[in-house]
Structure 1
Amino acid sequence: MKSRSHFSYWFIALALVSLGLAITFGVLAAIQYVSHDFLKSVVAFNHMRPLHVTSAVSWIVLSATGGVYYYISQEDNMELHLPLLGKLHFYVFLFTGIAIYLALLFGQTGGREYLVFSPFLIIPILFGWIIFGYNYFKTVLKNASKWPVYYWMWGTGTCFMTYHLIESNLWVFEYFRSDYIKDFSIQWKSYGSFVGAWNQLVYGTAIYLMARIKNDSSVGRGKLAFFFYFLGMCNLIFGWAHHTYIVPMPEWIRFLAYGTSMTEWIILFYMIWDWKKSIKIGMMDINSMAYRFLVSADKWVFLNLLLALLISIPALNLYTHGTHITVAHSMGTTIGINTSILFASMYFILMGKDNPPTKSSVSFFKWGFHLFNASLALFLTLLFVMGISKGIWQYSEPQIAFTEFQDNQYLYFVGFLIAGILLSLSIILLISPLLKRSYSIIFKK
């Protein structure tokens, strides 16, 4: 029986707040890109960017873990091994997050790119993942004999998230920090695999939603689903080769990394596309919001696959690596694919058949959904154009000064800012009814 007081709703609400903070810091950072003195004396760009990245990662992690807690306990009716540990997990992440924000706002860093806060704050984060993993495995092992693929994906993602968080902070030891190539390789390997780990959590959620919306457990038990799982795990282990072009390594690792990452997206695209064809109208209507975001994610998978194939061609990668095209690829994945899947999860939980949406929520969703996809397309297109421009500049002869090149890009930056504001507005429209619903559930109003 579902409980409206279940702590999984706490994770979901905090995830939505994190997404709101991510778009706030993102817009402020974009304004600073256009007007360099904007808030410079308060929060400079080099501090604003980590705040944006931290918030975006928090959105993915909190919504994914909150979803797992909800699905196994509320949808699959498993009794959590220790519910108290789940609540402890929430408070550990909450107070650690507050500490990270305060540290970044006051300029107290000490970490590396993407994890710029003090490595000491990784300790409570690791503790949170360990108790989450312990609770998850004890619960699922006790209640399920033949695991569907999404149970395997959630478990694998949890284990590798824990491992790669440790790996990403090995630089604190002199043995690793003293050797540049070793340090560089481990840092970027851990980041690439870190993304692969949360992809296991997110893609597992996508398959779970497909199974629940269709009311067909075979979706998560077929050979193709398990092939996708093992392919994703292989990509998690080897996909980091995309980030270390300048580091000496055997060629077979590069080719394997390219092959697995491209194939993983092809399989995900096919699974959602095939599932979409098999959905009946009635099933679609009951969970229309979640359904539409899953279909949207499939389109973004296809577009990002095309871009990834292009930038993986060595001759093109020479021009694109380190430009805004790389940013377009990563943000297209994070926003277009992961956020679409996680929005599907949020709407399934908070506005599914057991909690039908109000008329105002439906209106907010329709406007937000269409604006989200349109503004994201504009946002990524501008990044792509700026990336091409920089790639040409890098290898042009004679080369103009970088400051002059940046001045020539000003109109692109303004367009990028406008697209970012529109994208943020769409997310506000989408999360507003979700926040209102989660608030009413948590406080029983």
Structure 2
Amino acid sequence: MLCLYNFIRTTGTLKKQPVYVWMWFTGFIFFLITYLESYLWLIPYFRNNIVNDLTIQWKSYGSMVGSWNMLIYGCGIYLMDKISGTQTYSYSKTGFAIYFLGLFNLMFNWGHHIYTVPTHGYIKHVSYLVSMTELLLLGRIIFLWRRQMKQNKKHIHQPGFRFYAAADFWIFLTLVLAIAMSIPAINVYTHGTHITVAHTMGATIGINTFLLLAVVFDQLNPLIRKIKNFHRYLLPGFRICNISLFIFWISLIVAGIMKAWWQVHRPEVPFSTMMISLRPYFMMFMITGVTLTAGMWMMLLPVVKQYFMHGMHAKKRMELLYKKRNASLSTY
């Protein structure tokens, strides 16, 4: 609430604001609404009906993730305008069209999680149609791919841009998987498997984390420039992160496919036997998780170290100025 209050007070008005301001505003609003909605199970009317409770829980948390994504994607568009040096996109009709499509998905896209819940059919039908609108986003990414490759060469020297380009790649992969999971005939197999986890990890790490890192590295660019040979840490860490995340993601998808085949076609096989057969993929999942963390620290540790060193130097300068001030006052 305090964050929303501060945002409204700082912004003043929503008239003639860029699209990322609208994304931040609606992200704050819907996050508060969905957070309150997720606690409706405390009321007996909702808690005593298992179907309604499941539906509301999936709806609230699905939309809550969409709200968080609104906040992060708004930061991404802000950074994109800052790197390009113009605000053409953030005030364009295309930018606001994509915003409203994302808002539409935020409110209604959650229904593919409850295909197996015996709730009202129209909820599932509407959610399926809304999920398919993501094909427009996918088509746009493919259409603009060649132009983005040219921009990569132009802005690759900026530390935050590498993360932005990586997030764009993971948006493509996550959208392909999300659209596939939203098809009922495929969702029957993927629901409750590690494919859902792969979708979540691809979105959380590949998109959200990389976009946040892009914004942080851009804001700390003056400090990063003071780090000697920073690219010796950035490039290897960046490559280790993305390669590890891709193998991490694939291992979950393969484990999910095998579990989906078991739960539909081989229910007579014990659950423990099936899980033991997935052990190689879990081992790969664990190993790549460790290398992914190591790659992250390769990039972040020099920045964190420089940030604290800068803070310590600033503190010493303030103490020195304070001593000089006291010394000059004592002479009078």
Is 2:289 the partner of 1:427? no
Q: 1:432 to 1:422 in 2, by over 3 A?
A: same
Cα deviations across residues 200-230 of structure 1 (Å, max 9, x unaligned)?
Answer: 1111111111100110111211111111111
Letter aligned with residue 240 of structure 2: L
For structure 2, the residue ranges without an aligned partner over 5 or more in a row are 316-332
Asked if structure 1 preserves the Cα contact closer than 8 Å seen for 2:47 and 2:53, the reply is yes
Cα deviations across residues 142-177 of structure 1 (Å, max 9, x unaligned)?
Answer: 6x7520100110111011111111111111122221
- Give the counterpart of 2:18 among 131, 140, 148: 148
Partner of 2:6: 135
For structure 1, the residue ranges without an aligned partner over 5 or more in a row are 1-129
Deviation at 1:279, TM superposition (A): 6.6
Asked if structure 2 preserves the Cα contact closer than 8 Å seen for 1:213 and 1:284, the reply is no
Structure 2: distance between partners of 1:190 and 1:357? 45
Cα deviations across residues 74-101 of structure 1 (Å, max 9, x unaligned)?
Answer: xxxxxxxxxxxxxxxxxxxxxxxxxxxx
Q: Secondary structure at the match of 1:217?
A: coil
Q: 1:273 to 1:162 in 2, by over 3 A?
A: farther
Partner of 2:85: 215
Deviation at 1:392, TM superposition (A): 1.1
Asked if structure 1 preserves the Cα contact closer than 8 Å seen for 2:34 and 2:64, the reply is yes
Deviation at 1:431, TM superposition (A): 2.0
Structure 1: distance between partners of 2:145 and 2:22? 19
Deviation at 1:311, TM superposition (A): 2.3
Structure 1: distance between partners of 2:250 and 2:153? 34
Q: 1:397 to 1:186 in 2, by over 3 A?
A: closer
Q: TM-score, normalised by structure 1?
A: 0.65
Q: 1:195 to 1:269 in 2, by over 3 A?
A: farther
Structure 2: distance between partners of 1:221 and 1:247? 43
Partner of 2:321: none
Structure 1: distance between partners of 2:184 and 2:40? 31
Partner of 2:45: 175
Partner of 1:393: 262
Q: TM-score, normalised by structure 2?
A: 0.86
Letter aligned with residue 223 of structure 1: K
Partner of 2:34: 164
Q: 1:431 to 1:264 in 2, by over 3 A?
A: same
Asked if structure 2 preserves the Cα contact closer than 8 Å seen for 1:371 and 1:422, the reply is yes
Structure 2: distance between partners of 1:300 and 1:160? 25
Q: 1:247 to 1:340 in 2, by over 3 A?
A: farther
Deviation at 1:436, TM superposition (A): 2.1
Partner of 2:193: 323
Partner of 1:18: none
Partner of 2:136: 263
CA RMSD of aligned residues (A): 2.3
Q: Secondary structure at the match of 1:147?
A: coil
Structure 2: distance between partners of 1:258 and 1:346? 31
Asked if structure 1 preserves the Cα contact closer than 8 Å seen for 2:128 and 2:182, the reply is no
Deviation at 1:195, TM superposition (A): 0.6
Deviation at 1:273, TM superposition (A): 6.5
Corresponding residue pairs, total = 311
Q: 1:386 to 1:269 in 2, by over 3 A?
A: same
Deviation at 1:196, TM superposition (A): 0.5
Partner of 2:174: 304
Asked if structure 2 preserves the Cα contact closer than 8 Å seen for 1:376 and 1:419, the reply is yes
Q: 1:274 to 1:131 in 2, by over 3 A?
A: farther
Letter aligned with residue 388 of structure 1: I
Letter aligned with residue 364 of structure 1: Y
Q: 1:348 to 1:135 in 2, by over 3 A?
A: same
Q: Secondary structure at the match of 2:28?
A: helix
Q: Secondary structure at the match of 1:209?
A: helix
Deviation at 1:442, TM superposition (A): 4.6
Ranked by relative contact order (alpha carbons within 8 Å, sequence separation 6 or more), the top structure is 1
Structure 1: distance between partners of 2:118 and 2:134? 19
Q: 1:189 to 1:304 in 2, by over 3 A?
A: same
Deviation at 1:403, TM superposition (A): 1.1
Partner of 1:290: 160
Q: Secondary structure at the match of 2:133?
A: helix
Structure 2: distance between partners of 1:235 and 1:197? 10
Q: 1:172 to 1:347 in 2, by over 3 A?
A: same
Structure 2: distance between partners of 1:278 and 1:213? 10
Deviation at 1:355, TM superposition (A): 4.9
